[in-house]
Amino acid sequence: MAIARSKARREAIFSLVALICIIADQATKALAREYLSPGEAVPFIPGVLNLQFTVNTGAAFSVGEGLSWLFAAIAVVVVAALAITLWRTSDVPIYLCVFAGIIAGGAVGNLIDRVASGGVVDFFATAFMDFPIFNVADVCIDVGVVLGFIGYVIWDRKRAEGANAPHEGEA
C-alpha cells in the first residue's frame, strides 16, 4: 500500500512538473508570436540576452532542418521512456522525478510546436556570442538533463553504498 502511494506520488510530481514546464513554454511562445517580428532583435537583458522571433524546423544549430517529424518521434520516445521508467522503478527519489518532469515538459513543449506548425518557435538570442536561438522548452531539456545526470550519479552512489553496507548481524 505504501509503495503504491509512493509510486502515485512520484508519478503525480513528474506529471505536474511536466505540465508546468509545458504551460510556461507555450505561454512564452504565444507571447513571442504576438509581440516579436521575425529577425528583429529586442534587448531583454542588455548585452546578454535579446528576444528574436524565429521558427526552427531542425534541432540545435538548425541541424536536421526539415526533419521535424524525426524530432517529434524522438520526443515521444523520450517522454514515454521517462514515464515507463518511473512507473516501473519503485525506488526513484523525488528529485529525479522532478528532473524527469522538466525534461518531459520541455520535450512535449517543442513537440506541440512541431505537430501544430512543423517547426519550433525560438526567441531567446544571446547578445554576447553567436549561439543558436532557443526557447523555454530547450532550457527545460538542457537543465533537466544536467540535473538529472548529477542526481542519478548521486542516487546510484547511495544505492551502491547501501548494497555494500554490512547487514544486521554481519561483522
Span 50-75, pLDDT tens digits: 999 999 887 665 666 667 778 788 88
Residue 110 is assigned to a structural domain of this protein: yes
Q: Which of 91, 113, 122, 130 is catalytic?
A: 122
Which of these is catalytic: 91, 130, 138, 142? 138
pLDDT given at position 125: 96
Query: Cα(first)–Cα(last) distance of the chain, in Å?
Result: 34
Consecutive 10-residue averages of pLDDT for the chain (171 residues): 74 96 98 94 96 85 68 87 86 93 96 91 95 94 96 91 67 50
Neighbours of 82 (CB within 10 A): 22
* Predicted pLDDT of residue 118: 86
In a domain, 22, yes or no: yes
Phi then psi for residue 151, to 5 deg, are: -60, -40
pLDDT at 168: 60
Residues in contact with 4: Cβ distance below 8 Å, sequence separation at least 6, in sequence order: none
User: What is the distance between the alpha carbons of residues 117 and 134, in angstroms, rounded to a whole number?
Assistant: 17
pLDDT value, residue 160: 87
pTM value is 0.85
| Domain-located, residue 169 | no
Who's near 56: CB < 8 A, 6+ residues apart?
Answer: 62, 65, 119, 120, 122, 132, 133
**Helix 94-117 and helix 136-164: axis angle, to 10°?**
150
- Number of domains comprising the chain: 1
Residue 101 lies in a domain: yes
Per-residue model confidence (pLDDT) at position 63: 65
Q: Supply the pLDDT for residue 145.
A: 95
Is 108 part of any domain?
yes
CB 107 within 8 A of CB 141: yes
The pLDDT score that the predictor gives to residue 26 is 98
Q: Do 11 and 100 form a contact (C-beta atoms < 8 A)?
A: no
SS3 100: helix
**Would residue 138 show up in a list of annotated catalytic residues for this protein?**
yes
Per DSSP (E only), the strands in the chain are 42-45, 49-56, 120-126
Is 127 inside any structural domain? yes
In a domain, 69, yes or no: yes
Give pLDDT, residue 91.
83
- Domain of residue 12 covers 2-163
